[in-house]
Each structure stands twice: as C-alpha cells, then as structure tokens.
C-alpha cells in the first residue's frame, strides 16, 4: 500500500473556520471486522499534517471489546504531554443507531462498546464521535478523487462509458462506494452543490443484509447450500460477498473449506488459478458483488461512478477484470442503457482512516 500523499509541506488542504494551535491533535480509529487502525495527526493552520512523532497508521487484528479498549488506551497514551486532543472519530462496521455506543456486527458475538468506555480508554471526553465506517470511507474516497487531480492516481478503471482509462475528475453526479471485506459495506454519496463544508453527503446503507436473488445456476447452488448449512431461509448479499461468504461459496462448489487455512488463501488460490474451485468460487463472489453494486447504483443514480474498494479488492485486483463483476453490474434488461453511462473504478487505497481524520477536523460533519 502506498504511503499517504500529503499536499504542500505534508499537509492536507486546510478547511475554513479553524482556530488552531501547533499542539492540536486529531485521533482517528477505524474498527473493521478483522483489522483495526489507529492514526494520530496534527491540526494546524496549514490543515491536517502528519504527527511529528507518530505519523503512520497502526494496524492490529482485534476481535473483542476488551482487547480493543486496551489497544486504544495504548494508542491514546502516545499523545504528548504538551498536546491537546481536540477531537476523535471512531468509525466502525455497523449501523449508527445510538450516538453513545457501537455494536460490532462482524465480530463473534456482535459485541458492543460504549462511548463512556472509549473515553475511559483515553479518547477525549465530549469531542469523540461514532460514525459508520462507510461514511468515513465515503469522505476519504472523495478526498482521494480531489487529491488525484494533483498527485498520483489510486484508481484502476474497470469500465468507462467512453472507453477511456483516464483518472476520474471530480464527478458531477452521485457516487456509489461498495467495499467487500470481512463483511460487505456500501454507501451512496449524494452530490449537494450548495453544501458549504463538502461537495457530497454520504448515506450509509445496510442493503447488504437484504435477501440475495438467484442470478445463475452456480448462484442457486450456493444460496441453497448456505440456506441448508447456515440455517438461513433467505441468504443475504453479505452471506455471499464477505470473508465468511467466500468460504461458504467455496464449500458449496465442492471445495474443502475446512482444510483451507484462511479465506485469504482461498482467494489467492483463485486469483493465481492454482485452485480451480477457488477460481470458480471467486467468480461467483464477484458476480454477486457486481449485481449488488448495480442495485446500489440504480438506487442512488450513480452517474458520478461506482467505486469498488476494500482490502479484498486490492488483493484480488488481477482477477477482477475477468471475474464477471462488470458484466454482472451492467446486466439489466430494463436499465442497461442507464448503467452503461456509469463509470466503474477499483480503489487501491485504504480510505476509511483518512475519512475519519477528515471528519475529526470538521466538527460540523459529525453533528457537533
């Protein structure tokens, strides 16, 4: 993964309305189903700058609340005695139904953590906000598009209506962001030209938990297997397009999922072609991802583009162009002409932590 591209003097452009000191510190935490990331940054007159002592994003594999709180305490303890944490944003995989607690839907047991516990672990009281991880990722995505105009291109074109492979300009229409990983995340970004603080308003979606249809014979076989073995009458999109989903798809098609050490090894075998069943399973996975992306694109009228992100996208990128993802995205007898007007890109950078930092620097975007 590339290091973050900062602008002049290492800073992201400074938003308006700041009264800052050199000691103002922002904290950003992205809690995923498998990995949790922690990042510190300085908020200065130039904007968001790398922290002078701890500039890198720290990553840890965490799957329970106790370890999460201990790790946050370790990270928070690195704030210097002369520094002031002015705001923290915690992005997590799950719906934000309560501003005072978060429920990790992709952890075993779906554990909950309260805002009070996070503050006790060291996050600043009264200025710590909880946000859906796809909202954070959406803000990070738009920042990536803006930075792309000045510096390197983190996007890989998968489909362009004009047949061009040029990097995306800042879109003039709504955007759709889909991120498969441990779970499946999705958000729409609605363009609001009159918005003062930002060009787009993210809308997190939980549509991945709706029932998935039978899209072909292999898909029917997979859904029947999941229904029988996972005791789910109506398997969802996330039951197919997720880490556990890929393992189940592999098993449904005859693979020995018990002998496969990790989901990553199943995916790697599919990408390389060493494991034919894994390659077929990965094709089913991406055809369902493409059909889910189609639903999101039609729901949000995503003329600004569909962006496919997430850790699995980066790892599986060599396979995606031949996976059937784009074909499944475009396959719609009624709306095919409309869908063919929407560009499709793979996103190669991790945007959640950057979006969380941006939100930490903009109190008005997190309801403060």
> How confident is the model over 341-347, as a mean pLDDT?
94
Q: What pLDDT sits at residue 17?
A: 41
Least confident of 4-13, 142-151, 280-289, 320-329: 4-13
Least confident of 142-156, 202-216, 312-326: 142-156
Q: What pLDDT sits at residue 219?
A: 97
Q: What pLDDT sits at residue 4?
A: 29
Per-residue model confidence as pLDDT tens digits over 304-342? 999 999 989 999 999 999 999 999 999 999 999 999 999
> How confident is the model over 151-173, as a mean pLDDT?
71
Name the helix (H) or strand (E) containing 90. strand 84-92
Residue 253 has pLDDT above 50, yes or no: yes
**Cβ count near 282 (within 10 Å):** 26
Burial of residue 17 (CB within 10 Å: 0-12, 13-18, 19+) is exposed
Residue pair 22/13 in contact by the 8 Å Cβ criterion: no
Residue 151 has pLDDT above 70, yes or no: no
Dihedral sign for Cα atoms in the order 210, 211, 216, 221: positive
Per-residue model confidence as pLDDT tens digits over 26-52? 999 999 878 899 999 998 877 888 898
Give me 127's structure tokens: 């200025």
> How confident is the model over 231-244, as a mean pLDDT?
96
- Residue 171 pLDDT level (bands cut at 50, 70, 90): low
Q: What pLDDT sits at residue 34?
A: 82
- Residue 173 pLDDT level (bands cut at 50, 70, 90): confident
Q: Which of 171, 220, 215 is nearest to 325 (CA)?
A: 215
Residue pair 141/347 in contact by the 8 Å Cβ criterion: yes
Residue pair 310/350 in contact by the 8 Å Cβ criterion: no
Domains identified in the chain and CATH numbers:
8-131+357-366 (3.30.420.40), 207-347 (3.40.367.20)
Q: What pLDDT sits at residue 311?
A: 87
Percent share of the chain, pLDDT over 90: 61
Per-residue model confidence as pLDDT tens digits over 60-109? 988 888 899 999 999 999 998 888 888 999 998 877 777 777 777 667 76
Per-residue model confidence as pLDDT tens digits over 184-198? 999 999 988 764 545
DSSP string, 252-295: HTT--TTT---HHHHHHHHHHTS-HHHHHHHHHHHHHHHHHHHH
Residue pair 223/241 in contact by the 8 Å Cβ criterion: no
Q: What pLDDT sits at residue 249?
A: 97
In degrees and rounded to multiples of 5, residue 177 shows phi and psi of -120, 120
């Amino acid at each position: 993964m590339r290091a973050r591209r900062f602008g002049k003097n290492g800073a992201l452009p400074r938003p308006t309305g700041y009264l800052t000191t050199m000691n103002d510190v922002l904290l950003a935490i992205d809690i995923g189903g498998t990995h949790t990331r922690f990042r510190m940054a300085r908020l200065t007159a130039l904007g968001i700058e790398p922290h002078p002592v701890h500039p890198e994003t720290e990553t840890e594999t965490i799957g329970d609340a106790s370890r999460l709180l201990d790790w946050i305490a370790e990270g928070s303890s690195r704030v210097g005695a002369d520094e002031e944490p002015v705001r923290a944003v915690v992005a997590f995989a799950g719906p934000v139904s309560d501003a005072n607690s978060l429920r990790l839907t992709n952890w075993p047991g779906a554990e909950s953590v309260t805002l009070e516990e996070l503050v006790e672990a060291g996050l600043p009281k009264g200025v710590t906000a909880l946000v859906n991880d796809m909202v954070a990722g959406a803000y990070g995505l738009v920042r990536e598009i803006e930075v792309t105009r000045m510096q390197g291109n983190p996007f890989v074109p998968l489909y362009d209506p004009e047949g061009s492979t040029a990097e995306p300009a800042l879109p003039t229409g709504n955007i759709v962001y889909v991120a498969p990983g441990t779970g499946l995340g999705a958000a729409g970004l609605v363009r609001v030209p009159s918005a003062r603080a930002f060009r787009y308003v993210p809308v997190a979606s939980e549509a991945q938990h709706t029932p998935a249809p039978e899209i072909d014979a292999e898909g029917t076989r997979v859904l029947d297997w999941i229904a029988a073995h996972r005791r789910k009458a109506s398997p969802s999109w996330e039951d197919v397009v997720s880490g556990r989903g890929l393992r189940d798809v592999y098993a449904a098609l005859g693979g020995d999922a018990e002998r496969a050490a990790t989901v990553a090894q199943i995916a790697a075998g599919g990408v390389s072609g060493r494991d034919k069943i894994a390659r077929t399973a990965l094709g089913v996975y991406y055809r369902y991802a493409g059909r889910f992306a189609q639903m999101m694109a039609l729901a949000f009228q995503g003329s600004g583009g569909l962006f496919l992100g997430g850790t699995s996208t980066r790892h599986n990128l060599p396979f995606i162009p031949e996976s059937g993802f784009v074909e499944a995205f475009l396959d719609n007898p009624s709306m095919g002409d409309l869908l063919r007007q929407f560009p499709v890109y793979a996103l190669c950078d991790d945007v959640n932590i950057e979006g969380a930092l941006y939100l930490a620097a903009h109190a008005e975007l997190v309801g403060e």
